[in-house]
Chain A
Amino acid sequence: MVSFRLAAVALLLASPVLAETYGIGRQTTPEELKRLDISIGPEGDELPVGRGTVKDGEALFEEKGCVFCHGEQGAGGSAPALKAEKGPEAPIWQRGRILPVRAPFATTVWDYIYRAMPLGIEGTLTADETYAITAYLLYVNKVIPESLVLDKESLPKVKMPIGKNYADLPDWKPKTPRLKGYPY
């Protein structure tokens, strides 16, 4: 028995199960990642090459059917409003849940449109079209001037009106209450 056990231990030590990985799966190629990765971070590293103007965006807002759900200039439609009723003089949290106003980064707006719009034909917008529609929506909310052309360089630099006036998520740890000091 003893020798069996020793043999078992020796086997275990040599066994691939104890190796760091299981060796299952294949390495993802850079080309695949480029195609798959539509998560645009605040620095805009993942943004594709392209450009769009406010004027192009205005035309596309009609052409792509955005206007049917979101209304003229993004207001008064059945889908969530894209133009704030209150202007920049109002405190940001009183201007409503308006994506091109409340989003902390202009890249969030770009990501949202490219990922999830337009309804029914999601994923069909080109990079140029997405830059243009983003520019148009930021312009109608007075976030950028009409002259600003959005591209990989200029988009992440856009200063959003919310600034840092929003809450960070809590530093989550396992087996801890959801809010320190809150008994419920």
Chain B
Amino acid sequence: MTSKPPVRIGIRAPTNPIEIPKTRREFFKTGATLAGGLTLASGAVLPALAEGGHDHTMAAGGHENESPMILGSAELVQYGSRSPFEKSVRIPHPAGSTASPDTFGKMFHIASPIGEFHGTITPSSLHYVATTRQSYMPEIDPAKHTLTIHGVVDRPLTWTLADLKRFPSVSRLHFLECSGNRHGPQNKNVQESHGMTSCAEWTGVLLSTLIKECGLKTSAKWFVAEGAEEVKGASSMPIAKAMDDVLVAYGMNGEAVRPQNGYPLRIVVPGFEGIFSTKYLRRIKIVDRYYMNYNDYGHLTETPTDAALRYQIGPKSIITRPSGSQTLAGPGFYEITGLAWSGGGAIKSVEVSTDGGASWKRAELKSAPQRMAHVRFSCPWNWDGKATSIMSRCTDEVGQKQPTLEQVAKYWNKPYVKGYTMPGLNNSVMPWTIAQDGRITNGLL
């Protein structure tokens, strides 16, 4: 890569600068003398000003960046919303489907527009969602909701939401990822390929705090977490995980957990496949053996390898910009950026290749990597205008490395052919192909 000075894009030097009036009154006074064609003499705008009020209903102004004003409605004052110019939305997953995993015709899974995010936190309204059954969710009155922990403990206890908020709290950044977040050659963009993961700041009580309150018996080996939704979804998890870092969360990105994400209470099981992070949490049963309830049956596998690889999530990264369906404007400077995460702990390093995997360069991590959380990485790049492919790979704190699909096939002694499916959640490297005209497409086989 040649190191010519970066070309500035999107920054225009001011031409013919004019002094910006300090007040709106001053603006209107000087307005008439501004550059040609501007007429402000009509009575429609001026009377309010004559009264000295702060009426911000304004016609298009005379300055380059002047825009109509938005009325601060009660809704906007009370609970803000994004600009109407911002259009990114969640989409059904898999892309184009309306019925996953069966044919009832409702959306079960919706993917985050992760190609359009900045930083590491997923806005709550755009967090990915996976539900057990259709797009319905329970509407739970938090005043009536309780959590009970029982089973192999000294004393079963029940708490209200208010009770839970009295315990010492923690706030932690954690990613969640659906086991269906499997990228393939059919995906057009990063939302289709990697949109079933998100990262939020979760606030709540450590499950270990609550279990200690009940008094854990030594025969405890597993716990079953159960939701209050229609199917009472339940998963069994090791008690070692419960005592390590499982969070009973009522907060998400600074406010209450959203209904689609488990309002008013859920567990967050850092680094495990998303299904374990039971939403609408109502009960935790501490048990002395694996319980094989509901979701556990879905996790039943034939080999210990499959069982292990469908549990804790492996190291994974993805370039979100530039990525599939985007177009580079032309040769010059671009910041390559993306997200990296691992169920094994914090991300230690991310590398980026801009020559189809021939050489790799260490990427910058934009913030101190947190355990089991997305971290934003970036890498400066001067595109020379030639066709190429770009990709990222990462290593986590326990030394696990993100593989290419080819490496995985080789490891398991399988032929690396089109359609090869790796065991467990797909954490392989995703290449984006860049054509000479700047168009970016899926770079998988």
Write out the residue numbers on chain B whose beta carbons fall within 8 Å of the beta carbon of A79. 102
Contact of A167 among B167, B302, B313, B315 (CB under 8 A): B302
The answer to whether B439 has its CB under 8 Å from any CB of chain A is: no
Q: Mark A70-98, 1 if CB is under 8 A from B, else 0.
A: 00000000111000000000000100000
Contact of A39 among B226, B300, B399 (CB under 8 A): B226
A78 touching B245 in the complex, CB below 8 Å, given contacts A24-B159, A177-B399:
no
The answer to whether B377 has its CB under 8 Å from any CB of chain A is: no
A22 touching B166 in the complex, CB below 8 Å, given contacts A115-B231, A174-B245, A184-B401:
yes
A24 with B213: CB separation less than 8 A: yes
The distance in angstroms between the C-alpha atoms of A6 and B28, with both chains bound, is 70
The answer to whether B351 has its CB under 8 Å from any CB of chain A is: no
B400 with A177: CB separation less than 8 A: yes
A119 touching B159 in the complex, CB below 8 Å, given contacts A112-B297, A173-B240:
no
Contact of A123 among B213, B232, B312, B314 (CB under 8 A): B232
A78 touching B103 in the complex, CB below 8 Å, given contacts A39-B291, A175-B398:
yes
CB of B315, distance to nearest CB on chain A (Å)? 7
A169 touching B294 in the complex, CB below 8 Å, given contacts A28-B157, A184-B408:
no
The answer to whether B128 has its CB under 8 Å from any CB of chain A is: no
B314 with A178: CB separation less than 8 A: yes
B309 with A172: CB separation less than 8 A: no
B307 with A169: CB separation less than 8 A: yes
The answer to whether A63 has its CB under 8 Å from any CB of chain B is: no
Q: Mark B389-409, 1 if CB is under 8 A from A, else 0.
A: 000000001111111000110
Residue of A nearest to B159 (CB): A25
A167 with B306: CB separation less than 8 A: yes
Write out the residue numbers on chain B whose beta carbons fall within 8 Å of the beta carbon of A102. 297, 300
The distance in angstroms between the C-alpha atoms of A19 and B104, with both chains bound, is 53
B304 with A116: CB separation less than 8 A: no
CB of A56, distance to nearest CB on chain B (Å)? 24
Stretch at the interface among B50-58, B88-96, B181-189, B282-290: B282-290
Residue of B nearest to A28 (CB): B156
The answer to whether A36 has its CB under 8 Å from any CB of chain B is: yes
Q: Mark A145-184, 1 if CB is under 8 A from B, else 0.
A: 0000000000000000000011111111111111100111
CB of A48, distance to nearest CB on chain B (Å)? 15
Q: Quick one: which of B213, B291, B299 has the most chain A CB within 10 A?
A: B291
A111 with B293: CB separation less than 8 A: yes
CB of A164, distance to nearest CB on chain B (Å)? 12
Q: Mark A114-132, 1 if CB is under 8 A from B, else 0.
A: 0110010011000000000
Contact of B345 among A24, A93, A122, A175 (CB under 8 A): A175
A178 with B343: CB separation less than 8 A: yes
B158 with A115: CB separation less than 8 A: no
Contact of A38 among B156, B232, B314 (CB under 8 A): B232
The distance in angstroms between the C-alpha atoms of A170 and B241, with both chains bound, is 12
B240 with A172: CB separation less than 8 A: yes
Residue of A nearest to B213 (CB): A21
The answer to whether A99 has its CB under 8 Å from any CB of chain B is: yes
CB of B396, distance to nearest CB on chain A (Å)? 9
A103 touching B291 in the complex, CB below 8 Å, given contacts A172-B240, A172-B312:
no
Contact of B305 among A20, A24, A179 (CB under 8 A): A179
The distance in angstroms between the C-alpha atoms of A178 and B423, with both chains bound, is 13
B289 with A41: CB separation less than 8 A: yes
Residue of B nearest to A91 (CB): B302
The answer to whether A42 has its CB under 8 Å from any CB of chain B is: yes
Contact of A112 among B157, B166, B294, B302 (CB under 8 A): B294
Residue of A nearest to B408 (CB): A184
CB of A92, distance to nearest CB on chain B (Å)? 9
Write out the residue numbers on chain B whose beta carbons fall within 8 Å of the beta carbon of A174. 240-241, 244-245
Write out the residue numbers on chain A whose beta carbons fall within 8 Å of the beta carbon of B427. 184
Write out the residue numbers on chain A whose beta carbons fall within 8 Å of the beta carbon of B102. 78-80
The answer to whether B348 has its CB under 8 Å from any CB of chain A is: no
Contact of A37 among B285, B305, B308, B315 (CB under 8 A): B285
CB of B301, distance to nearest CB on chain A (Å)? 5
Residue of B nearest to A180 (CB): B308
B163 with A182: CB separation less than 8 A: no
The answer to whether B376 has its CB under 8 Å from any CB of chain A is: no
B212 with A20: CB separation less than 8 A: yes
B293 with A39: CB separation less than 8 A: yes
The answer to whether A136 has its CB under 8 Å from any CB of chain B is: no
The distance in angstroms between the C-alpha atoms of A113 and B97, with both chains bound, is 27
Residue of B nearest to A174 (CB): B244
Contact of A184 among B230, B294, B315 (CB under 8 A): B315
CB of A171, distance to nearest CB on chain B (Å)? 8
CB of A64, distance to nearest CB on chain B (Å)? 15
What are the 4 closest A-B residue pairs judged by CB atoms, nearest first? Answer: A116-B231, A28-B156, A167-B307, A178-B312
21 contacts between A and B (CB under 8 A): A20-B212, A24-B159, A24-B213, A28-B158, A36-B148, A38-B232, A40-B293, A41-B287, A42-B291, A42-B292, A78-B103, A80-B102, A166-B300, A168-B290, A170-B307, A170-B308, A178-B308, A178-B309, A178-B311, A178-B400, A184-B401
